[in-house]
Amino acid sequence: MTAVTAATAATAATEEAAYEPTGRTVPTRGRHKARYDRETVHAILDDAYLCHLGFVRDGAPVVLPTLYARVGESLYIHGSTGSRPLRGAATADPGLPVCVTVTHVDGLVLAKSAFHHSINYRSVVVHGTAYDVTDEEEQRLALDALVDQVVPGRAADSRPANAKELAATAVIRVDLAEVSAKVRTGGPNDEAEDLALPYWSGVVPVARGYGAPVPAEGLAAGTATPDYLAAL
């Protein structure tokens, strides 16, 4: 699938409000926390850049942390041409079965009882097949998206990959079809008989933060810190 074809497919898919639940995307517990609407799923994916990629190698499960980017109805993941999952996507027919997860921790939920402690979170689980991206146009689109997923605006403010770098880089695509989100919000679910106990309960918010940008050694004099870094 080329970048143009993928974009067309993404436009058609977004006309549907939600992903169809399947046996793998319906949780066995906490079903009320599950979400299948595209707006929620896309928002969770777009607010992060680190995922965990799971696959089976030599009969054993493997889970790797890696960067990703969403473009329409596809996730793109990149790495060295020698990495195990990327080699698997290139050699397996029709592709490499994978599971991709993304999680945000939004708060620590402290209850009166140890049993009811929890976290507030937003997560997405994607089941699918990872395909090797061989079309150069789609590969470049994916690599730009990966850079911008981490720091929006950065792709246009850096040198694009040259032919040698592209040859050393592999990109896989996982289409968003079998997808679910799960969300928990709110305070602790304390038991009525525990409310009078002398223990603090409530939520400790968790937020992602960035420090001030540190210029690289040897940076040319007069090179200003880009505005998009201040926006982080």
- The verdict on residue 224 lying in a domain is no
Top-confidence residue, 90 or 43: 43
Q: Is residue 88 a part of any domain in this protein? A: yes
14-148-146-215 Cα dihedral, nearest 10 degrees: -170
Number of residues that make up the chain: 232
DSSP state at residue 227? H
The verdict on residue 211 lying in a domain is no
Reduce the DSSP state of residue 3 to 3 states and report it. Answer: helix
Two tokens, residue 74: 């596809």
pTM of the entire predicted model: 0.87
pLDDT above 60 for 6: no
> What is the pLDDT averaged over residues 140-161?
95
What's the structural domain count of the chain? Answer: 1
Q: 119 lies in a domain? A: yes
Residue 141 has pLDDT above 80, yes or no: yes
Q: Check residue 7 and give its pLDDT.
A: 45
Residue 168, judged by CB atoms within 10 A of its CB (0-12, 13-18, 19+), counts as exposed
Q: What integer is the mean pLDDT of 35-60?
A: 94
Kindly report, residue by residue over 191-201, the tens digit of the pLDDT: 999 999 999 99
**Can you give the pLDDT at residue 90?**
66
Q: Are 179 and 41 in contact (CB under 8 A)?
A: yes
Q: Kindly report, residue by residue over 80-95, the tens digit of the pLDDT.
A: 766 766 666 666 778 8
Tell me which residue range forms the domain holding 65: 3-188+199-204
Query: 139: left (phi > 0), else alpha (psi -120 to 50), else beta?
Result: alpha
Most confident of 28-32, 134-138, 148-152: 148-152
Contacts of 203 (CB under 8 A, 6+ apart): 107, 108, 109, 110, 120, 186, 187, 188
Structure tokens at 198: 């002398």
219 belongs to a structural domain: no
**What one-letter code names the amino acid at 221?**
A
H, E, C per residue of 46-99: HCCCEEEEEEEECCEEEEEEEEEEEECCEEEEEEECCCHHHHHHHHCCCCEEEE
Q: Say if 228 falls within a structural domain.
A: no
- Which of 36, 73, 29 is CA-nearest to residue 179? 36
What's the rounded mean pLDDT across residues 27-47? Answer: 92
Q: Does residue 59 sit within a domain?
A: yes
**Paired tokens of 45:** 């994916």
CATH number, position 159: 2.30.110.10
Residue 4's pLDDT band (cuts 50, 70, 90)? very low
pLDDT of residue 137: 92
